[in-house]
Structure 1
Amino acid sequence: MKTHDLLAIGLMTFALFLGAGNLIFPPSLGLEAGTNLFPAMVGFLITAVGLPAFTLIVLGRISNTHNLTKPLPNWLARTFWVALFTAIGPAFGMPRAVTVAYEMGIKPFVTTDHLLLFSILFSVLTLMLAFKPGRLVDCIGKVMTPLLILMLLALALAAIFSPLDFPQSPSADYQHGAITQGLIQGYMTMDAIAAVGFGWVIIQTINAKGITAPKAVANTALKVAMIYAVLMAGCYIAMGYVGATSASVAANATNGGEILARYVAGEFGVYGQWLLAAIIIMACLTTTVGLTNACAEYYKQTFNASFSITATIVVLLTGIIANFGLEQILTVSLPAILVLCPIAIALVLAALFFPANSGVSFTYITVLLTALGFGGLDALAILGKIPPSLDIPLSHSLPLYSAHASWFLPCLAVLVFNRILTVSKKPIMHINN
């Protein structure tokens, strides 16, 4: 593959992941971490960048994203993929991007509610850009992403050379456990589950460039993941530093979006508001285009559905659901996202331990059920549904429960145990699809 094509795919990958949520988390972390920004950011980068990059690398190694669930019974594999693409697509991920783009990019400049009109225009533009999947690299990787990077660079340089304040003392959570808090915040970006969905787009894009041999796909995916990781890490570090130096203007801010808005207003004045609006809208647009493409590509490959019809339905549902408002979208869809994320990561780990052609469906089913059970427990804890009488004992007795990752060690134990059995050539139960 030519260098400029590889770079374009890497830029496209970065843009697909860079939604408004990714810009909002780091400023909030930076403000709270203060002088402990470095250890907090190390933890954040491990889960917010490391997990998605690891997922992309594993997907490249298995060459085809279908292989991620190939050892599962057909009905279970399809249930997983449909649930995943529904959640990150029209049910949650895409409507959230539309509403965030409106709330941060348009609403500050208008006096009346124009969400309906904005969602229509935004959806039409998304569909136009996604309608030609072969042009996705040209639209996003070669045009939109460089513009987005220039906008972010302007904000980062202003924060470095003309900071509004100095980092303050860290909040209570970041005084002694900055790395742990960073790990939790990075995990909550949920980019690991997005990586599984975007894998469809990235692998297809690599194949479209004539790279189809398994080893070549794996090597290209590795390079793409590295480009994504470097760019995303740089973005997170810059936004985290913006938050750490914004105490004078955002001391009482309640979320990262508010911190970012106040910072750019203080740094650039009215021009800063326009800059922020452009960054947010551009970031959300690249995400909705990528998700539309991923959803339509899955249904095209799996059910032989028309790409254009599927994309139109996905975007139409997105526009409708977006008008219910961000809070309602989060309330209804967040539990499913929180449960799907550990399942997706567990399947990626299973694909790393066991090749898709090994037929170890028992292992895949076991690790999926383990992730479902413990991931459901973590989801209830995140949503505040665990009673204190149970929450306190669990935090003391269940490893990683306080980090909302109690699923990880049980899933790893299942995989290691089955791997030992496989290596020792002991029989493993097989379940026919």
Structure 2
Amino acid sequence: MSINKQTLVIAFALFSLFFGAGNLILPPFLGYNAGGSWPLVSIGFAISAVIIPIMAIYGHARLQGTLMDFANKVSPVFALIYALIIYAISISLPSPRTASVTYEMAIEPYFEMSSLTLSAIYFAFVLLFALNRTRILNIIGKFLTPLIILILLLIISIGLFADVTPMSGTIFKSTFTDGILEGYQTFDAIGGVVVGGVIVVSLALQGTLNYDQKKKMIAKAGLLAGLGLVIIYGGLIALGASYNTTIETDDRVQLLTDLSKGTLGDIGTSFLGVLVALACFTTAVGIVTGTADFVKKIAGNSQMAYIITAVVGCIIGVAVGQFDVHYIIDIALPALMFIYPITIALIILNVLPQKWTTPLVFRFVIAVTFLFSIPDFLQFFTTSEMLDIVKSYIPLAGVSMGWVLPALVAFVLGNLLQQKAAH
């Protein structure tokens, strides 16, 4: 296989990796609420849902390691705790959300079945596939993503060229930062650090490319995958904005369903529902399997640890997956406000030149990021006057980005201290 062709294959694999069912329902609703300000919200969304995840892939290309290596410069203990939190969040939120999306798009409109029943059946099959690995998921994935992309491009093209009424204004207080925060809900920065190493390992197993060739190839593939994501996300956001005065809804899944019905009709919507259900299923199996693999490794390669983790992951999936998508997105916010700033900081530090990212700088930046993300996390649990006073003194805390400037200052100060120590 030529390097050019291989680059395209990796780019497509990366696109498939990042573009899950949750990514389908978020952009249209974001555009719907942004209205005429959709270009600005698109830029914000692209930063957290495209640029940061692709940077995570590049970080993996440089490290040629695992998730633990992303945080190892802070300390091995921190790396282990961070990894455990990441996997715990993955099986508790994005994995159950796949069952919820499947129910609302592919089951509820057509069948008389409760969400709990569907969730139980769904995760019984997830467990079956996780315990009995099979190539069928790879086969489904190979044909699934192109079909979803084709249908989405049809929906976007038909929808944007239709006669629609003028857009209304944005409902967001800060359109740009709200776009960034909505991008958190894709979980793609977490996805980048968790499974980005799969691409590196796959290339290493081939043994035909050296370190620099692999790094360049993954970087090019990342840019191509990122471009594809930007086109799809931008189109879906613009589509949602175009119909924000003709469709009335406060539900993300319902909006996507209405948009597909309006452009492709009932048959097209049904077909999209089936594809989304399959995409959801492959994502859930991937998360449960990846989490179980991690626990198995730290438990001394114990197969029993793998089985127990897979079972627990599926039980959590049934318990959380019976709730509607809107509820799961809401309960995910506190966890994301806690772990996403640390994840973004780790990704950026792993991409920057090593002379600027010594262990001292890593520790300083991550400690400050953690400290200044606490107010954003606590706002979901308390409305105390003291918290408001604290946030009033932190730049950008009013838009839940209070960690950004302190982390930047910590990065600069950390490097100055490092230079002083060196001399």
TM-score above 0.5: yes
Distance 1:131 1:219 in 2: 35
Which residue of the other structure, out of 224, 228, 231, is the alignment partner of 2:225? 228
Partner of 1:349: 348
CA-CA distance at 1:130 after TM superposition: 9.0
* 2:375–2:391 CA contact under 8 A, matched in 1: no
Q: How does 1:361-376 map to 2 (within 5 A)?
A: 361-376=359-374
The residue that corresponds to 2:22 in the other structure is: 21
How many angstroms apart in 2 are the aligned matches of 1:410 and 1:64? 29
Alpha-carbon displacement from aligned partner over 1:107-132 (angstroms, at most 9, x marks no partner): 11112316435543465257638965
Q: 1:40 to 1:335 in 2, by over 3 A?
A: closer
Counterpart of 1:239? 236
Residue 322 (structure 1) aligns with:
317
Q: Percent identity?
A: 26
SS of residue paired to 2:196: helix
Which piece of structure 1 moves more, 296-305 or 7-16? 296-305
Q: In 2, Cα distance between the equivalents of 1:339 and 1:411?
A: 14
Contact 1:19 1:287 in 2 (8 A): yes
Q: Structure 1 stretches of 5 or more lacking a match?
A: 428-433
Give the Cα separation in 2 of the matches to 1:128 and 1:237: 34
Q: Distance in 2 between matches of 1:127 and 1:11?
A: 27
| Alignment partner, residue 198 of structure 2 | 201
The 5 Å alignment of 1:22-101 reads 22-65=23-66, 66-88=68-90, 90-101=91-102
Distance 1:99 1:55 in 2: 27
SS in 1 for 2:109: helix
- Partner SS for 2:397: coil
- Between the aligned partners of 2:246 and 2:310, the Cα distance in structure 1 is 38
Q: Which residue type is aligned with residue 35 of structure 1?
A: G
**Superposed counterparts of 1:134-145, under 5 Å:** 139-140=140-141, 142-145=142-145
CA drift at 1:274: 0.3
Partner residue of 2:338?
339
Q: Which runs of 5+ in 2 are unaligned?
A: none
Corresponding residue number in structure 1 for 2:146: 146
Q: Is the 8 A contact 2:292 2:310 kept in 1?
A: no
Of 210, 213, 216, the residue aligned with 1:216 is: 213
Is the contact between residue 201 and residue 294 of structure 1 (CA under 8 Å) also seen in structure 2?
A: no
Give the Å deviation of 1:367.
2.7
Q: Name the stretch that deviates more: 327-336 or 198-207.
A: 327-336
Change beyond 3 A, Cα 1:122–1:188: closer
The CA distance in 2 between the partners of 1:17 and 1:423, in whole Å, is 38
CA 1:129–1:217: 2 relative to 1, 3 Å = farther
User: Which amino acid counterpart does residue 111 of structure 1 have in structure 2?
Assistant: E
Deviation at 1:277, TM superposition (A): 0.9
Aligned to 2:412: 416
Asked whether the equivalents of residues 167 and 243 of structure 2 are also in contact (C-alpha less than 8 Å), the reply is no
Partner of 1:431 in structure 2? none
SS in 1 for 2:399: coil
- Cα distance in 2, alignment partners of residues 377 and 133 from structure 1: 45
Question: Conserved in 2, the CA contact under 8 Å of 1:350 and 1:364?
Answer: yes
Q: Which of 294, 298, 308 is the matching residue for 2:294?
A: 298
1:191 alignment partner in structure 2: 188
> What is the TM-score when the length of structure 2 is the normalising length?
0.85
Query: Residue in 2 aligned with 1:430?
Result: none
Offset from partner CA, 1:267-324 (integer Å, 9 cap, x none)? 3332243033134213323422432443244345544526x76665454334322332
- In angstroms, what is the RMSD of aligned CA positions? 3.2
Structure 2 CA distance for partners of 1:257 and 1:228, relative to 1, 3 Å: same
Following the alignment from structure 2 to structure 1, what is the Cα–Cα distance between the partners of residues 134 and 369?
Answer: 33
C-alpha spacing 1:408/1:18, structure 2 compared with 1 (3 Å): same
C-alpha contact (below 8 Å) 1:57/1:221 kept by paired residues: yes
Residue 219 of structure 1 deviates from its aligned partner by 1.6
